[in-house]
């Protein structure tokens, strides 16, 4: 397999960075609950532990990485402000973290981002700049905007402090439930997967870490199988938080080293999992947040006889869209 290394100027994060992030997040991020369901366990034939990051501040795990990244900046840099690009959850997370840390925030968001995420980002006090994700390059736009305004860019996944912050969710999970056989994690750009894999390698070395992404946007699976980063056109899926076109250099390097596999599930499986969460566990989970659980419920990953951790990554879904999806 061809190994793609990150820029020499940026080193890969290690578990020590996850531990440092936990210290920064102490008393700021919620320690989200770990739930289980007898019905789900019987259905899959294993014991599943759901780490409910849909109940995190700003409604998703993204708050962990966003806060850790901004808190790691020196005071003068924070005062100048930060910039992020995101379809929603990273946007809200940066906006809230910036508000807590008294840092100006500008967020580049796609025009078709869920209305609830656009509104929440503005309500947290950030300036929102919109773009067309199907015809404009968000990375090029954000680089230009950051240069013009003198802002520090905090990307949604390919950043060592973001990766380390995201890894704290899995660290809490292992601390609460002990060693696991499997850890299932959703994949967009790979920040949560990479950070979770760092925690698994340190806290449960025998645990196989598996990424899960939407079938319509399986660039991660293709990259993992090919051994190099594969870029695809902007995918179309109800999993709006995973509509990335490629993994990051940092995230891919960690995924190659620490992840066992990446699988993909169809949108129909996400809707069914949303329904299970709502009806059986009384949880509101967005489609992207259902990716990991869908792999278990659909049989894409065999969980029989295994102890399985599942990161429920977020719950930011427009109420009208949520009702429409569940109504079928």
Q: Which residues belong to the active site?
A: 62, 87, 213, 217, 219, 313
Distance CA 56, CA 167 (A): 14
Distance CA 155, CA 149 (A): 16
Distance CA 255, CA 198 (A): 9
Q: DSSP string of 1-36? A: -PPPPPPTTSPPP-HHHHHHHHHHHTTTS----EE-
Distance CA 114, CA 106 (A): 18
Q: DSSP string of 82-120? A: EEEE-SSHHHHHHHHHHHHTT--EEEEEETTS-HHHHHH
Q: DSSP string of 157-199? A: SSSHHHHHHHHHHHHHHHHHH---SEEEEE-SSSHHHHHHHHH
Three-state DSSP at 211 gives: strand
Distance CA 286, CA 54 (A): 8
Q: Which residue has the tokens 């938080």?
A: 241
């Amino acid at each position: 397999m061809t190994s793609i290394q990150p820029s020499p100027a940026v080193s890969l994060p290690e578990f020590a960075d996850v531990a440092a992030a936990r210290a920064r997040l102490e008393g700021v991020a919620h320690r989200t609950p770990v739930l289980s369901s007898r019905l789900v366990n019987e259905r899959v034939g294993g014991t599943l532990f759901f780490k409910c990051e849909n109940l995190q501040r700003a409604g998703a795990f993204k708050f962990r990485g966003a806060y850790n990244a901004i808190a790691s900046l020196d005071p003068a840099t924070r005062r100048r402000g930060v910039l992020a690009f995101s379809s929603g959850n990273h946007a809200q997370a940066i906006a809230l973290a910036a508000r807590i840390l008294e840092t100006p925030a500008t967020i580049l968001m796609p025009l078709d981002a869920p209305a609830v995420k656009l509104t929440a980002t503005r309500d947290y006090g950030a300036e929102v700049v919109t773009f067309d994700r199907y015809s404009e390059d968000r990375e090029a736009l954000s680089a230009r905007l950051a240069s013009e305004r003198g802002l520090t860019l905090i990307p949604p996944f390919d950043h060592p402090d973001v990766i380390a912050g995201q890894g704290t969710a899995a660290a809490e999970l292992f601390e609460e439930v002990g060693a696991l056989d499997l850890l299932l994690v959703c994949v967009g750009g790979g920040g949560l997967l990479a950070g979770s894999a760092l925690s698994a390698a340190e806290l449960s070395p025998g645990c196989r870490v598996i990424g899960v992404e939407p079938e319509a946007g399986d660039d991660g699976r293709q990259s993992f199988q090919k051994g190099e980063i594969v870029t695809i056109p902007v995918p179309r899926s109800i999993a709006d938080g995973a509509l990335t076109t490629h993994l990051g250099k940092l995230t891919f390097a960690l995924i190659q080293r620490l992840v066992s596999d990446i699988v993909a599930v169809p949108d129909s499986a996400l809707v069914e999992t949303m329904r299970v969460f709502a009806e059986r566990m009384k949880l509101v989970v967005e489609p992207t947040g259902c990716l990991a659980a869908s792999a278990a419920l659909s049989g894409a990953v065999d969980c029989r006889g295994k102890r399985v951790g599942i990161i429920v990554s977020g719950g930011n879904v427009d109420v009208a869209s949520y009702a429409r999806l569940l109504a079928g």
